[in-house]
Structure 1
Amino acid sequence: MIIADETPTLARWKGILRAVRRDGTPALFLIGATALFFWPLWIAGYRFPKGGGDLWGQLYPVWSFVAEELRRGVLPLWNPRMLGGDPIFSEGQYGLFNPLNWPLFLASPIPPGWVLLRGAFSLWLAGVGMYVYLRRSPIWRLGRSAALTGALAYMFSDPFVVHLGHPQFNDAMAWLPWALAGVDQAARRTHRIPLGALPIALLLLSGHGQAALYGMIAVGLYAFGQAVEGGWPRGFYRIGRLALAGLLGIALAAPSLLPGLERLPMTDRAGVPLEQRRGYEFPPAMLIDFLSPLFHGRGADQFWLPANRVESGYAGSVTLYLALLGVFGTLRFRWTWGLIGLGTLALLFSLGYQGPLYPALARLPLFSETWKTARAIYLVSFALAIAGAMGVEQLRRLRPRTVILWAMALSMGGLVLWGIAPRWAAEAPEGPARARAVTGLRFAAFLAWGTALSSWAISQGRTWLRPALPLLLTAELVALGATAEAEPSPPHRDPHPQALRFLRADPGWFRVDVDPAARDLWPPIALQMAGFEVPQGTGNPMELREFNILRWWIPSATHPAYRMLGVKYIVVPKGAPPGGEGIWPVFVDDPAIDIHLHTRALPRVWLVYRTEVVGHYGEALKRVLDEHFRPEEIAVVQNGPRLNGEGRGRIGVARYSPNEVILDVETDAPALLILSDTFYPGWQATVDSLRVPIYRTNAVFRGVEVPPGRHRVTLRFRPGSLRIGLGMAMIGGLMGLVLGVAGKRRR
């Protein structure tokens, strides 16, 4: 009988199947660990984060709007429901281009359970990425137990827990190990350059600028180390391949990056003077929280330091103990020093102006906008997780006598920690805070003994005990982190149903404002979710600054400038007196709120026949905030047409959608058509299909000059930054495909 030799393809598939069987158990373990960590959600019906956070207060209303419009067949680049409209495509934190959000956009309404599952998925993705990276990287090549320990330490570290309310930040952290694994591939084979570019693109598409910037710095340093290690001429070729992978990754992410960079100078955050860009810096006192996050309090409701609440960087005291063994056992390994360097740089940067590094970078582009430096602490957690995994690997490689000595030293350290815990905790406020601090330190001491015992058993050749350390770490991280940001889910019901029916009964086109005293009674985001347009945002620091300045500088609802906002109804607390002349109650049947009618509000679109031309925003703002300004008679136009006539006209709304406005206008004299939506680059106007300019009108709105007669005026949102970004992504994708196919054939 003749048996044919295996073909290379068959051998390759057999190798893949063996790898799947070999690493399948750890992958399933990570799924189980994620489910265990989120037990308050599945068992107790809780949600995260506490207080709703950005997830429910900023992201969910926008996600729901996107899903609703997609169901209608429209990809919304512009959201008219908040402020005077917002270009949501250019705010990466809304995640319009983040692939992990796309499953949510396919459901309308989006089930809250899907949102929670999507947030939990980021942690699992981080764990799998770290496991794959530590197992497959030619730098580390760790065993399964070691790689699993590193994965658990990273995915459940404090930065992930703190940002459960902002999954875009967690996404950037989750893609970091995948990006480093991609660097490993791209550095060694030309046809694997696309494998290096894709995770870089996904990291950038995550949408959080600070997390992505810190992650890309780590990727850049790692790529530099790979190139240097290659020697000459191998290192030269590695530099070329890695540079190409980075450029392709940036090109693939260009549809999000270019609009974001265009928007950045227009935001509230960019308007903060450089000398005031402080706060959210990592306090040096929180170094002890790497040992136990209970020392200063887990969660904003327990945190007692006077500093802003920041993540501690805690990745488990078990991880910390193992990291000591991993570092000191591999000091001759050059990448150990690279790991130490990364952690040190991240820690120094996170100190902000308290440290030596950030003051030297504060005035550089991008760094000047990332002044919440404490968030860089996640790179310290990342380095600790790898060092902890190296510690587990050292238990297999070091002599048993060396491990026994280390275990004995660790046990003695735990004994000392148990004894001095009350003394260290004396700086905490008396009461529950001090009790938590003592408990946290003594729990860390107990884990020191557990780590020492497990390490001794493994060093004695008891291989069946190798899962002990991952299990011990899982128990620690779940015990201290599972409930840190979990709270009972609020009841899902429509607030103020009678008031909603009253507002929906009005077929007009208007905005609904919420008085500051009523925001806790009926938040503006609830009205957005119900489909109404409101002149408030979601509290995002990346909102458009100029509209917010106008909105909050208007002194009262009776001021002439307030009439431009198109606010017909104002929600006020129950029994509140009318807000002034022309404002009176029209709905009082709700036990908590009333609704007042603003009778002097201008329509959402109107015509004026006189203009006042100014040169810049400051002049326009000063003019429209004058108490004698009459927006129904005159418009303040920046570098626009001069009109000084009289006339009459009529406007019909043919279409109003997120990306397009179509109006039928009839006027007997030259007029300026004013739409009370925010002026923003990318809007294009035509009058009877002829392109015409859009003028910044009344400080923040859009104006279009219309000649006498009957005309169709169309405004479409076609941002050039998005078109260029899509073009770059298409070119990058094509180049990646060519490199992959051609390189593989050449090989």
Structure 2
Amino acid sequence: MHNLNFKKDFLPHLAAIAIFCLVTVLFFAPVFFEGKTLPQHDIMQWEGGAKELIDYRAKTGEEGLWTNSMFSGMPGYLVDVQFSGDLLKYLHRAYGLFLIYPMMTIFISCLSFYILLLSMGVRSWLAIAGGLAYGLTAFSVIGIMAGHNAKISAVSTMPLVLAGIHYAFKGKKMWGFVITAIGLAIHLRPNHLQITYYLVLIVAAYGVAQLVLAIKEKTLSDFIKTGALLVVAALLAVGANFGKLMTTMEYSKYSTRGKSELTQMGEAKSGLDKDYAFQYSNGIFEPLFLIIPNFYGGSAREDLGDNSNLEAALKKNGANRQQIKQQVEAAPAYWGNQPLTAPYYAGAIIVFLFVLGMIILDNKYRVWIGGVVLFALVLSWGSNFSLNYFIFDYLPGYNKFRSVTFAIIVVVFGMILAGFLGLEKLLSSDFNKPTQKKFMIAVGSVAGFTLLCAVFAGMGSYRGAVDAQLANYPEWYLTALRADRASLLRMDALRSLIFILLFVGVLWALIKNKLSKPVAYGLLVLFVFVDLFGVAKRFINSDTFVRKSRQSEFQLTEADQVILKDKDPNYRVMNLLNPFNDAKTSYHHKSIGGYHGAKLGRYQELIERCIAPEQGRIIAALQGGSYDFGDIGVLNMLNTKYFIFGASANAVLPNTSANGNAWFVSDVREVGSADEEINELSQINTKEIAVIDETKFSLSDQVPAANGTIQLVTYKPNYLKYESSNSGDGLAVFSEVYYPKGWTATIDGEEAAILRANYVLRAMEVPAGDHVIEFKFQPQSYVLGNTVTLIVNILLIVLLIGTIGLSVMRKGESSVA
């Protein structure tokens, strides 16, 4: 073991950390230095939906676990539930240098990919460029802008996991084991299983490559031992997140990701609907935005800048300054087939390096990286490539995820990895004629493509799906817009060409010893940074940040104030304006709607089959001047006491026909399937009749036939207390969503069975007399999950400390020797 040298062994790594930190702070300077924030759409929605759980935790110090603020009630596992055993959150923050979240995910992305490239033998100064390329990819920047914090947090640690695995296979088993276990544990913390699924695809491809290599080199025994060691590391990572994963897996069976009991064409469906999953699908040529960001016009709301064709046309046709500003700064420049998008630019230099890598790398890298990149590219095409329908049906677990365009992160990952492995090989080998030829092929193909795009940009039609929404716009507007789309492509193609040529020029000078290594490496890093930083700033710039507090998004409106005068502990509100993509209503009220990608499956079916039609009838009635809500049985059984259609006081419509918190019914209709149950629900008076699936729940012969009352006297998210009084045995229906896991009920302290009625509600047989009825939500999945999480978190931290200590001791012994 050689003596440690500061310049060689420490300085590059310290420089990498400093550069990554500086870039992160520079990119988000208004957050770090001006106290501003990013107005992230999805985070705003999350704050609305999570408010009840956050308030309950602040007030009691306990976890609510269930929230009634969205979709009439749902488990809080994927909304806002904390696990006291999650000690790795402190390690996660330390790994991100305690930078502000989610901005620290950019730093972590850079550092993680830097470590991955080092593990694979790439020299540190090139690895810095690779880290910047991964951290500043448009996928991460756009994700943060949109508020997809969990997704980008999971993306940021993908390279760290692969680095640990690679270290293990290359003989550094102790550190490989620890890095894999802790890297994967931190990766799983955000609980974004779609990104984890993509990570599994990458690891599987790498694993197959290692298996093939082991068979060829006759080292299969070592492969099996290393694989077994890594399986243990993965189990520890899962154990460190056992609570989150256990509750999520439990819930997924009952969410929109689970199997529906309703039949379609005679067969119950499982997973997401294909049309929903493939709603966002890249066109076949659309991934060319990886090299030319505005190949398809950029984003759905693009700033055309000064002197655009559209600006000139608007001026010519008499538009005022404000109209011109509004049109030009948010022009529908995107002309692909998706309803909404933004280009996930990987970098012109990165695409060049990827092509170079695919040409000069050995098969042990080229085949598995190229294979996983191609497969992910196919997945991103979604509905535009027929093979994806087969993949969706038969690739295990794949039908649980939507937005298949997210698979492009695997493409970006593979491109950067292959690119810098190829660059390292180029600089480490003789630049002989065969190598020169391969180098020139890469330059000619990639640079030539961008040149052709610039030269022939005027030949496209530039007509896209969004143009159908512009049918009422004058022809001069469309002509100018399409000219700007062509101009965007031309200018970005030239931009990409310039960066490629600059990078290639410095690389050539380095190889030919025309530039010193420090200068050349510095320039290579700089070009990668400027290329990606420039495009990233198109999405998040100084104008993006705001001073106003997020709380101002949820300021009480006059409508809210009117409703909140009602001191009933539990009733619901329906915002008639886009209720199922709005969680702002949930901030102050218990809402019929909300904003969440994994609501309960039965509730989604209720929305589609019952609530949406009733919403349509309400709107039609209001337009006709009617305010009678007596015929909306489903919304009434959900105790919808108020409808709102605006912010003013007169936009509140009280509903005196709501069924209340609970009621006794006089009749029960027993049915034999979910289809019969939901069909019957649309035809009954929910105040008098309950529908129960007799194949799932059984009733005694005496029920119903009772007159009585039930009053809610205590409300908490996870606890409900009622007082009932009825003259005879009866069936009570509660305006609370039924969930089969975790809820228990008692009558006067004695356990009672919870039934499901009216497709989504709870019901209970209540004997005659006066009683106290209590519901408690105490899921064993949370209790057990939290305990396991704590134990494994402690184990992982001890393992990390022990490994560091052992490494220091060994280095000390080696230096003494």
Matching of residue 306 in structure 1 with residue 337 in structure 2 = yes
Shift in Å, 1:308: 4.7
SS for the counterpart of 2:526 is helix
Matches within 5 A, 1:468-617: 468-484=523-539, 487=544, 489=546, 492=549, 493=552, 494-495=554-555, 497-517=557-577, 524-530=582-588, 532-538=589-595, 540=597, 542-544=599-601, 545-549=604-608, 550-554=610-614, 555-556=617-618, 557-559=629-631, 560-573=633-646, 590=649, 594-608=651-665, 610-617=667-674
Residue 635 of structure 2 aligns with an amino acid whose one-letter code is Y
Report the number of matched residues. Answer: 696
Partner of 2:106: 123
Residue 566 and residue 529 in structure 1: after superposition, are their counterparts in 2 closer, same or farther (change >3 A)?
A: same
Instruction: Tell me: CA distance 1:116–1:67, structure 2 relative to 1, closer, same or farther (3 Å).
Output: farther
**TM-score in terms of structure 1 length:** 0.82
Q: How far apart, CA to CA, are the structure 1 residues paired with 2:766 and 2:153? A: 47
Residues of 1 paired with 2:534 and 2:175: CA distance?
45
> Is 2:408 aligned against 1:377?
yes
Pair 1:346–1:416, CA change in 2 (3 A): closer
What do residues 486-510 of structure 1 show as CA deviations (whole Å, max 9, x unaligned)? 6464955355533333222221234
State how far apart, in whole Å, the 1-side matches of 2:691 and 2:665 are. Answer: 10
Q: What residue identity is the alignment partner of 2:505?
A: L
Aligned to 1:423: 456
Is the Cα contact below 8 Å between 2:49 and 2:69 reproduced in 1? no
**Range with bigger deviation, 594-603 or 308-317:** 308-317
Q: 1: distance between equivalents of 2:509 and 2:176?
A: 41
Given that residues 185 and 196 in structure 1 are in contact (C-alpha distance below 8 angstroms), is that contact kept between their aligned partners in structure 2?
no
Q: What is the identity, as a one-letter code, of the residue corresponding to 1:675?
A: F
Q: Secondary structure at the match of 2:720?
A: strand
Alignment match, 1:197: 181
What is residue 369 of structure 2 aligned with on the other side? Answer: 339
Say which SS state the counterpart of residue 282 (structure 1) adopts.
coil
* 1:565-603 Cα shifts (integer Å, max 9, x gaps): 2122211358xxxxxxxxxxxxxx64xx52121112222
The residue aligned with 1:82 is 70
Contact 2:246 2:781 (8 Å CA) reproduced: yes
On the 8 A contact 2:457/2:487 being kept in 1, the answer is no
State the percentage of identical aligned residues.
Answer: 19
Contact 1:524/1:534 (<8 A) preserved: no
Aligned equivalent of 1:367: 398
1:230-287: CA deviation from partner (whole Å, max 9, x where unpaired)? 5132122112212222333334333233333333343345565558754433322124
Residue type at the aligned position of 2:23: A
AA partner of residue 421 (structure 2)? M
The residue number in structure 2 matching 1:26 is 16
Match of 1:636 in 2: 691
1:85 positional shift: 0.5
Relative contact order, higher structure (CA 8 A, sep 6+): 2
Q: How does 1:407-486 map to 2 (within 5 A)?
A: 410=443, 414=447, 417-418=450-451, 420-424=453-457, 426-427=459-460, 428=462, 430-459=482-511, 460=513, 461-465=515-519, 466-484=521-539
Please say if 1:254 is aligned against 2:242: yes
Structure 1 residue 670 corresponds to structure 2 residue 701: no
> What secondary structure does 2:293 align onto?
coil
Aligned mates of 1:273, 1:322 — CA distance in 2: 38
> Do the aligned partners of 2:154 and 2:188 also contact (CA within 8 Å) in 1?
yes
Bigger drift between 682-691 and 704-713 goes to 704-713
Match of 1:207 among 191, 208, 211: 191
* Correspondent of 1:54 among 1, 22, 42: 42
Q: Distance in 1 between matches of 2:458 and 2:786?
A: 55
The yes-or-no answer on 1:695 pairing with 2:755 is yes
Equivalent position to 1:625, from 679, 682, 695:
682
What is the distance in 2 between the residues matched to 1:288 and 1:408?
19
Deviation at 1:733, TM superposition (A): 5.6
* Structure 1 residue aligned with 2:58: 71
Q: Report the alpha carbon displacement of residue 669 of structure 1 after superposing the two structures with TM.
A: 2.3
Looking at structure 2, the residues matched to 745 and 116 of structure 1 have their Cα atoms a distance apart, in angstroms, of 29
In structure 1, the residue matched to 2:471 is none
Offset of residue 213 of structure 1 = 0.8
Correspondence for 2:282: 282
Equivalent position amino acid for 2:123 in 1: G
* CA-atom RMSD in angstroms: 3.9
Matches of 2:453 and 2:591, distance apart in 1: 56
Q: Distance in 2 between matches of 1:412 and 1:569?
A: 63
Structure 2 counterpart of 1:163: 143
CA distance in 1, matches of 2:273, 2:791: 38
Which residue type is aligned with residue 319 of structure 1?
A: I
**Residue identity in the other structure for 1:281:** S
Counterpart CA distance in 1 for 2:423 and 2:81 is 37
Q: Which amino acid aligns with 1:127?
A: C
Q: Distance in 1 between matches of 2:89 and 2:186?
A: 13
Contact 1:80/1:86 (8 A) holds in 2: yes
- 8 Å CA contact 2:154–2:187 kept in 1: the answer is yes
CA distance in 2, matches of 1:160, 1:548: 33
CA distance, structure 2, for counterparts of residue 95 and residue 289 of structure 1: 38
1:374-393: per-residue Cα shift (whole Å, max 9, x none)?
32121110011112323443
Q: Which has the larger displacement, 188-197 or 655-664?
A: 188-197
SS of aligned partner of 2:157:
helix
- 1:351 aligns to what SS in structure 2? helix
Counterpart CA distance in 1 for 2:424 and 2:32 is: 34
Q: How far does residue 74 in structure 1 lie from its aligned partner after superposition?
A: 2.2
Change (3 A) 1:573 1:633: same
Change (3 A) 1:475 1:319: same
Gaps of 5+ in 1: 1-7, 107-114, 575-588
Question: Quick check: 403-412 or 217-226, which moved more?
Answer: 403-412
Cα drift, residue 543 of structure 1: 4.4
Decide whether the 8 Å contact of 2:299 with 2:341 is kept in 1. no
